[in-house]
Structure 1
């Protein structure tokens, strides 16, 4: 199915799959199998040589998982995609074909705390590094790029602060530098924004969040625009030079599917960050209602943010959908359907008031997750961003007086009533 032919909600239901040819099953079956029978020796050889598409072993590809990757690729307007075991796995999978010892990425300082930790510490074990900059300062982004830079990384709507990135400007910087722009689109989803339309090369998702939408699955997605010329320079030898493990195949010769095939044939083969078929099935079912859920998420979030902004117990609300937000105009350009459902509020009572608020809420669930149908709350400075120092927390929008809200799809009056009683307890 083509995104030029069908609308978003049609693609969310149909893209990536057809009725099962063997049984006629209408829903995508859960192919709970490890391996697949080859027709003959020649068929097996052609599959292993990447001369023919098909299924070999479920660490690499699985029909249920492939349907999910293809559906998200269709929703994002991408050439192809892969599904993997988590959002953090998706980030490593996105970087793996691009990086080598001594290489770096330029990353937004306003990222999810776990991502900052992954980029600050874990990737150094591969010999990679990250330079963190405020991506609102475009001169700083450009200045941070050097000969060893292999990508720019940002989030469409930053977690936790809800800040909106200027994707078009960042894409222009990336293009001048000859490197891809990688965008984490988890908090926006393709219903609010398709980063590829703004110049992004790769888009990553934590499928754990809005795509599944019910808090049952851990998963990640990487999709590729198919538009980047990996052979234009010598920066990306994994894609532009012969691959010894595939008898000298140069993946760049595969055109718009070069990255997707490499991520599957080499990345999943060797890193093993595979998504399980049952998880893929749950996410496929979740995506069927993504547009309906996001519409309610956004409407509720705006109503809650407007109410909080007027409350004297609240010092600040970071929702980009508010007229008072410095990101309001940018949000209209990047996420025209709304500014998402994730934002923070600052309390005048500081750290102690935040802890009391979290402990006093009844409808909200205190969990380390977002994007659920349920309204969720967490205090980032003591949890998701606890590993960061005070300066990093402040830059990430996770100062000690900040609480993160993920607004669900419940009746909005009930959400506001719970916040009202929670604020009363927190400021008593």
Structure 2
């Protein structure tokens, strides 16, 4: 969209980044299903490869459909640029890649998606990186965990699976004082419920597979750059501040300023890691984002109703939803997440592990799948699936103990969801 009026969220989620196709006038963003692009001449090709001109070279790096999605997500998040990739897990590696070197570490929240805990505690060791896990409800503990080798702080805005809400501002203050970027996974909240950059985050990552797409059709990820971090303030981030041998000594921060991180993500990250988002996935996600605010309102409305019903049920030990007045995170959610606490939470079933298994096997409307953020209501027993690789202590710290199930409340009729849970609880606890 052109410079001018400041548009509202509902307008931007439909129009940001999109323009009528210059060749055909098509109003919906086309799927540019091509691997490569014809150069005007040899000089044009050279300028593109030297990063002297912005354009399309090869779809591992840039694609017109994906570019629209990148601009739209960056706009909704209040960032200067974004890089889309093949999945949310890819986005996490892409986010860390320009920051880390062998021997460096990331300080991460204990309340993270189980796959992220595994990625950070196990897989990144193969790069020579490491992670320290800290309770983000204790900013002092976060500060104490940061050392001279720390290159990033990583948390989730609304933590998966428990739905706990993070006080991003307090963690951002700690990261700022240490001179390292704060990365916030905003998958569960989306920019409709929370804009982490406004609360001090440097980078935002998404699994676009979830609420942004909203229909369970494609996987994808995105890294959004705030454009505010001074990568040259110290020697901690040579990938962005020092000469880059692959581009004849070009210094990304010196050359591209606030867009340095975004350009590096494309020119180095996608070029060498190859975690490319395909244009059809970008197209599905763009269509999903057009109704994001409408869906999130319904997700929140239904989650509040279902959580309140569960909390009163004698077959349920507790519910973790931050939208409930009884939640210790309720005041924080009202302050930092004014549109609601999302559609994701857990509840503990009396009877423990076995009762949880019976519950998920007895539901009809809820789908038992390893996903969240779908228009459909979803459920999973995290301890036997997404968090299975974690130790019992890690499971409990993440809010995914053996007697707990995670629900992602969809946009169906809330009374039907309650009736489905009521029947399944009867089967599980009878």
For 1:53, what is the secondary structure of its paired residue?
coil
What is the correspondence of 1:297-336 to structure 2 with a 5 Å cutoff?
A: 297-336=299-338
**What is residue 189 of structure 2 aligned with on the other side?**
188
Question: What is the CA distance between 1:138 and its match in structure 2?
Answer: 1.2
Residue number among 388, 413, 416 corresponding to 2:415 in the alignment: 413
**What is residue 112 of structure 2 aligned with on the other side?**
111
- Alpha carbons of structure 1 residues 4 and 106: separation in structure 2 relative to 1, 3 Å: farther
- Alpha carbons of structure 1 residues 79 and 4: separation in structure 2 relative to 1, 3 Å: farther
**What is residue 250 of structure 2 aligned with on the other side?**
249
> Does the CA-based 8 Å contact 1:3-1:77 persist in structure 2?
no
For 1:168, what is the secondary structure of its paired residue?
helix
**What is residue 269 of structure 1 aligned with on the other side?**
271
Cα deviations across residues 215-264 of structure 1 (Å, max 9, x unaligned)? 00100000000000000000000000010101111000111100000000
**What is residue 428 of structure 2 aligned with on the other side?**
426
Question: What is the CA distance between 1:137 and its match in structure 2?
Answer: 1.3
- The RMSD of aligned alpha carbons is 0.8
**What is residue 348 of structure 1 aligned with on the other side?**
350
> Does the CA-based 8 Å contact 1:3-1:11 persist in structure 2?
no
Give me the TM-score of the superposition, normalised by structure 1. Answer: 0.99
1:16 matches 2:17: yes
Residue number among 353, 358, 361 corresponding to 2:360 in the alignment: 358
> Does the CA-based 8 Å contact 1:380-1:404 persist in structure 2?
yes
Cα deviations across residues 62-104 of structure 1 (Å, max 9, x unaligned)? 0001110110000000000010000000000000000000000
Cα deviations across residues 8-64 of structure 1 (Å, max 9, x unaligned)? 111110001100001000000000000000001111111011111100000000000
Question: What is the CA distance between 1:332 and its match in structure 2?
Answer: 1.1
Cα deviations across residues 170-224 of structure 1 (Å, max 9, x unaligned)? 0000000000000000000000000000000000000000000000010000000
- Alpha carbons of structure 1 residues 287 and 66: separation in structure 2 relative to 1, 3 Å: same
**What is residue 85 of structure 2 aligned with on the other side?**
84
Residue number among 278, 281, 301 corresponding to 1:279 in the alignment: 281
**What is residue 219 of structure 2 aligned with on the other side?**
218
Cα deviations across residues 288-321 of structure 1 (Å, max 9, x unaligned)? 0001000000000000001111111100000000
Cα deviations across residues 381-409 of structure 1 (Å, max 9, x unaligned)? 00000000100000000000000000000
> Does the CA-based 8 Å contact 1:106-1:152 persist in structure 2?
yes
Question: What is the CA distance between 1:3 and its match in structure 2?
Answer: 10
Instruction: Write the distance in 2 (CA, Å) between the matches of 1:271 and 1:403.
Output: 35
- Alpha carbons of structure 1 residues 53 and 92: separation in structure 2 relative to 1, 3 Å: same
> Does the CA-based 8 Å contact 1:3-1:75 persist in structure 2?
no
1:385 matches 2:387: yes
Cα deviations across residues 107-141 of structure 1 (Å, max 9, x unaligned)? 00100000000000100000000000111111111
1:294 matches 2:296: yes
Instruction: Write the distance in 2 (CA, Å) between the matches of 1:257 and 1:95.
Output: 16
Question: What is the CA distance between 1:333 and its match in structure 2?
Answer: 1.7
For 1:170, what is the secondary structure of its paired residue?
helix
What is the correspondence of 1:396-407 to structure 2 with a 5 Å cutoff?
A: 396-407=398-409
Cα deviations across residues 333-359 of structure 1 (Å, max 9, x unaligned)? 221100000000011111111111100
Cα deviations across residues 145-189 of structure 1 (Å, max 9, x unaligned)? 000000100000000000001100000000000000000000000
Instruction: Write the distance in 1 (CA, Å) between the matches of 2:382 and 2:421.
Output: 18
What is the correspondence of 1:20-39 to structure 2 with a 5 Å cutoff?
A: 20-39=21-40
**What is residue 200 of structure 1 aligned with on the other side?**
201
> Does the CA-based 8 Å contact 1:3-1:74 persist in structure 2?
no
For 1:403, what is the secondary structure of its paired residue?
strand
Instruction: Write the distance in 1 (CA, Å) between the matches of 2:41 and 2:354.
Output: 67
**What is residue 98 of structure 1 aligned with on the other side?**
99
Structure 1 residue ranges without an equivalent (≥5): none
Give me the TM-score of the superposition, normalised by structure 2. Answer: 0.99
State how many pairs are aligned.
Answer: 428
Segments of 4+ moved more than 6 angstroms: none
Instruction: Write the distance in 1 (CA, Å) between the matches of 2:324 and 2:198.
Output: 24
